[in-house]
Structure formats: C-alpha cells, structure tokens
C-alpha cells in the first residue's frame, strides 16, 4: 500500500502509523497521532509491545498493535511515526505542546502507587542511570550507578526507575539503602508512568524514561553527553519538545563528574526551597 507523506487526503481512510525507531522516539512523536486522526483518518498505531497499554488511548486511535503484529490489518496508507514531524512542517516554534499529552492514567493505578510510597515528607526523586546496552551510543549516554553516589546523601527520597540493572550496578544498589527499588512492580509503561506521576522529579540519562517523564509533564533532568542526540539540540538547557525538562550537558571534558556536581547543587537548592515552604506553611 502507498506511503503517506501528507499530500493525499485521508478522510475516511485507514492509515497505519508504524514505530520505526526506539521506545522513546515513539513516546516523543505520539503527540502527532491525534493530528493525523483529526484529518478524518482511521488510525491504526503499531508500536513496541511495552507501549501498547500506554498509547492505545490516544485520541483517534482505533486500534493499537504491538510491532510486529501477528497479522497485519487492512489499511489504505502507511506512515512511519518518525515522518510525522515532516508531514506537519515542524519548526522549533511549531512543535505541538509537549505538556501532558499522553492519555489519562487509570486513577486506580495512581492511587495504588500513592499507597505504596506512603507519606510525602521529602522530595521524591526518580533515578535512571543507563539505557539499552545494545544502543549504538550506549557507551556515551549511560553511566554506572556509582557516578550518582554524590547526590544520594541529600535529604530526599530516591526511587529507582531502572528496569534492567546491570551486574556492575547491583552491588552498588544493594549498598545504598536510600534508593527505594520497586521496579518489580513496573510491569509496563503505564505502571512506570503512574509511579512517575507520584514523584517530584526524575533524573535520568537519555533513554525512554526521559521521554515518558517529559511527556507526562513531570519535572525531568536529563544528563546528556557532549555530543547529544539531535533532538536535544545544542547550547541550551531547555527543550522545545518538553516544557518541564532541563538539560544537564557534559562539557568538552566529556565526563559526567562535573555534570553530577551541577545536579547536586541544583537538587540541594530545591530541597532547601521545599523545606522553607514547609516551614512557612506551619
């Protein structure tokens, strides 16, 4: 069937939108899917299996299938999800709003996580320190958990959002009881999103959780290598894709120690500000 690049009318047509990149890319570009449906199309979304529960509720999606589906449905056009920014003529000032564009989370799951976390006495911070080890630039974007140790003595409550812990990090995780590890309950992206919705901040390397937290409108700090992925641009600490994201970049030294120092200073300031607000509220 023909590939759609925005020229043909699609009203009343079935269009297959297929994820052709990683999970994070799919979350980032899911914001365009309702825009396709608004042209009157019957949208069939094909994404990674782990994303189906999260993205099936996007407005206009009539069917969400895992990639590759067991059986391809009938359709009139197909379109890679990564072509949607081109189709809609995206420029920095026309990026569709990145603030909380994902489907509403099931209230029951959010309430379950609130119960698990207990009283909200300290700043809640989620941590992700590594991505997919098979990624071509994993050596550049992931870091050992040990690199985050300098922030763990701050007066905050830390939660691991790291699904697959590498052997080198397991011992570090066991040594630092200050990191609450509830990742066994993170069975899909909806569960991870529900947990993130109960946190105050997510600190993460450039991986799918960075996109998930940003798409939820959660305050998110992303640790970036000196030469980052294209979407994070250069010479700025914000992102036009996600209004609640702050970028902490490596300098020309290409090491993360100085990045962690900046993160620690900013986190300490937030903890102090929260403490002062609490004192004023008494």
Same structural domain for residues 50 and 118? no
CA torsion sign, 40 to 45 to 51 to 57? positive
**Could you tell me the two tokens for 230?**
């294209």
Same structural domain for residues 169 and 250? yes
Count of domains forming the chain: 2
Same structural domain for residues 86 and 164? no
Same structural domain for residues 83 and 149? no
Same structural domain for residues 180 and 84? no
- Looking at residue 123, which CATH number applies to its domain? 3.40.50.2000
At residue 134, the pLDDT reads 85
Are 232 and 222 in contact by the 8 Å Cβ rule? The answer is yes
pTM metric for this prediction: 0.96
At residue 133, the pLDDT reads 86
Per-chain mean pLDDT for the chain: 95
Same structural domain for residues 260 and 145? yes
At residue 280, the pLDDT reads 81
In angstroms, rounded to a whole number, what is the distance separating the alpha carbons of residues 246 and 201?
11
At residue 238, the pLDDT reads 97
At residue 281, the pLDDT reads 74
Concatenate the DSSP letters of all residues of 190-230 into one string.
HHHHHHHTT-SEEEEESSHHHHHHHHTT--EEEEE-SS--G
Residue 158 domain flag = yes
In angstroms, rounded to a whole number, what is the distance separating the alpha carbons of residues 65 and 229?
28
Task: Name 202's bridge partners.
Answer: 126, 220
Structural domain ending residue among the three candidates 46, 66, 94: 94
In angstroms, rounded to a whole number, what is the distance separating the alpha carbons of residues 22 and 19?
8
Task: Please list the ranges in the chain whose pLDDT falls under 70.
Answer: 282
- Segment 260-273, tens digit of pLDDT: 999 999 999 999 99
- Segment 13-43, tens digit of pLDDT: 999 999 999 999 999 999 999 999 999 999 9
Report which of 249, 163, 147, 244 is spatially closest to residue 209, judged by C-alpha positions: 163
Are 20 and 81 in contact by the 8 Å Cβ rule? The answer is yes
Same structural domain for residues 259 and 142? yes
The domain in which residue 209 lies consists of 107-281
In angstroms, rounded to a whole number, what is the distance separating the alpha carbons of residues 278 and 155?
14
At residue 282, the pLDDT reads 67
Residue 195 domain flag = yes
Same structural domain for residues 136 and 48? no
Same structural domain for residues 62 and 191? no
At residue 225, the pLDDT reads 96
At residue 97, the pLDDT reads 82
At residue 220, the pLDDT reads 98
- List CB contacts of 93: < 8 A, sequence separation 6 or more: 240
At residue 201, the pLDDT reads 98
Report which of 164, 240, 251, 178 is spatially closest to residue 208, judged by C-alpha positions: 164
């Amino acid at each position: 069937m023909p590939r759609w690049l925005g020229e043909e009318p699609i009203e009343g047509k079935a269009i297959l939108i297929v994820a052709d990149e990683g999970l994070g890319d799919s979350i980032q570009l899911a914001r365009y899917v309702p825009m396709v449906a608004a042209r009157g199309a019957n949208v069939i979304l094909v994404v990674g299996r782990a994303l189906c529960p999260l993205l099936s509720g996007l407005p206009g999606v009539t069917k969400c299938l895992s990639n590759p589906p067991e059986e391809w449905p009938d359709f009139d056009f197909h379109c890679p999800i990564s072509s949607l920014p081109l189709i809609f003529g995206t420029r920095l000032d026309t990026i569709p709003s990145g603030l909380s564009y994902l489907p509403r989370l099931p209230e029951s799951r959010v309430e379950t996580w609130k119960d698990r976390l207990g009283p909200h006495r300290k700043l809640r911070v989620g941590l992700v320190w590594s991505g997919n080890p098979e990624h071509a630039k994993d050596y550049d974007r992931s870091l050992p958990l040990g690199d985050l140790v300098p922030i763990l003595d701050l007066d905050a409550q830390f939660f691991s959002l790291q699904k697959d812990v590498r052997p080198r990090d397991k011992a570090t995780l066991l040594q630092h009881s200050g990191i609450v590890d509830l990742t066994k309950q993170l069975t899909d992206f909806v569960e991870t999103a529900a947990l993130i919705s109960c946190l105050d901040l997510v600190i993460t390397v450039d991986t799918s959780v960075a996109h998930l937290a940003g798409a939820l409108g959660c305050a998110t700090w992303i640790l970036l290598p000196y030469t980052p992925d294209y979407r994070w641009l250069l010479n700025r600490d914000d992102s036009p894709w996600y209004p609640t994201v702050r970028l902490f970049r490596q300098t020309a030294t290409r090491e993360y120690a100085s990045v962690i120092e900046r993160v620690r200073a900013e986190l300490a300031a937030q903890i102090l500000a929260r403490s002062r607000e609490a004192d004023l509220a008494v």
